[in-house]
Amino acid sequence: MNTENNELAKSVVNEVLKNDLFSQWLGIKILEIREGYCRIEMTVRSEMINGLGIVHGGICFSLADSAFAFACNNRNNLSVALDTSINFLKAVHVADTLTAEVREIHNGRSTGLYQISITNQQKETVALFKGTCFRTGKKII
């Protein structure tokens, strides 16, 4: 993971995020980008709750899915999500700040496997996401 690759990673993610209107709606901020890696955060707003008064599962998933995209695409090899899963470990509440951090488990030529943990402001893991992607070989920028 050299400097040049990390610079490319940042350029790709900046370009992607510029057009990513849903990640913008979520309020996602980039904390760190490296080759095959990212750490991002968002703060939960009241319009993100479900009918039981806690935060909708789709919010955690969306944050993790954005982190997945920012990590698995950032070698400038357009990758599409095939199978993703998420386990919910702890309820999330309005005003919580969630951080998603990526671990690249496998970076294959044609496919990749990533794990994303989501923690709240008390460093408690609230959800664990797993994503398999297929690499198309197309450039993004």
Residues that bind a second copy (CB under 8 A): 15-23, 25, 46-53, 56-59, 61-63, 65-66, 69, 78, 80-89, 105-106, 110-111, 113, 125, 128, 130, 132, 134, 140
Give the residue with the Cβ less far from a second copy, 6 or 20: 20
Q: Nearer to a second copy by C-beta: 35 or 63?
A: 63
Residue 108 CB, nearest distance to a second copy (Å)? 8
CB contact set of 99 (below 8 Å; sequence gap of 6+): 31, 39, 40, 41, 118, 119, 120
CB of 113 to a second copy, least distance (A): 5
Secondary structure class of 125 (helix, strand, coil): strand
- In the bound state with a second copy, the residue whose beta carbon lies nearer, of 46 and 122, is 46
Which residue's CB is nearer to a second copy, number 86 or number 102?
Answer: 86
Give the integer Cα–Cα distance in Å for 120 and 100. 9
Contact between 117 and 99 under an 8 Å Cβ cutoff? The reply is no
Cβ(60)–Cβ(70) below 8 Å: no
